[in-house]
Structure 1
Amino acid sequence: MSDPFQNRSLPLSGPARDLIAVTPSDSIDLVDVAVALYVEGGGTVAFVSAGGGSRSVTLPDNAILPVGVRRVDATGTTATGIHALVL
């Protein structure tokens, strides 16, 4: 099978290379910084941004949050089915 990503640089504006389930944690960062989050069940997402800031946003069901994220905190997060979009 051919791989269209094989010889291509991965821009932040392009499609993610993978979607990884997130288990919120107050101390463990994501393995890779996410370029965005996808949330299946709406609610609040508390996170540490790629820039290091602590943030909290409320999202509806099936929402995409187009912000770089290093960690999704357990404390303050009520959204469910969170996935990290990574390059």
Structure 2
Amino acid sequence: MAQRVDDVLTGGLMVTPDDETDLAFPRGTTCSKAVYVDGAGDVAAVMADGTQLLFDNLAAGVFHRLSVVRIFSTGTTATGIKVLY
């Protein structure tokens, strides 16, 4: 089976959670395709459509298919957060 181009992760960012600032994606990228955490915990995020959600106890070492534009410091307990696009 051929892999779809939109399923490929081409880059990523280390995340410092911030209540006020959206993630700084490169030009042409508007949101993540996945979130990865080194240390399990909660992640409070703004989704690509503007919805604010709290994801309880995200497992470490897993690519979570989430399209986010911001990760809040308030409510986020997971560590080593990365977003991939």
TM-score, scaled relative to structure 1: 0.80
Cα distance in 1 between the residues matched to 2:5 and 2:45:
24
Give the aligned residue type for 2:9: A
Give the alignment partner of residue 27 of structure 1, picking from 20, 32, 49. 20
Q: Which residue of 1 aligns with 2:45?
A: 47
Q: Which residue of 1 aligns with 2:78?
A: 79
Question: Structure 1: which 4+ aligned runs deviate by more than 2 Å?
Answer: none
Q: Which residue of 1 aligns with 2:28?
A: none
Give the aligned residue type for 1:40: D
Percent of aligned pairs with the same residue? Answer: 37
**Matched residues, number:** 76
Alpha-carbon shift at residue 16 of structure 1 (Å): 0.8
Q: CA RMSD in A?
A: 1.4
Structure 1: stretches of 5+ with no match in the other structure: 1-8
Structure 2: stretches of 5+ with no match in the other structure: 26-30
Give the alignment partner of residue 36 of structure 1, picking from 34, 37, 50. 34
Give the aligned residue type for 2:60: D
TM-score, scaled relative to structure 2: 0.82
Cα distance in 1 between the residues matched to 2:23 and 2:5:
19
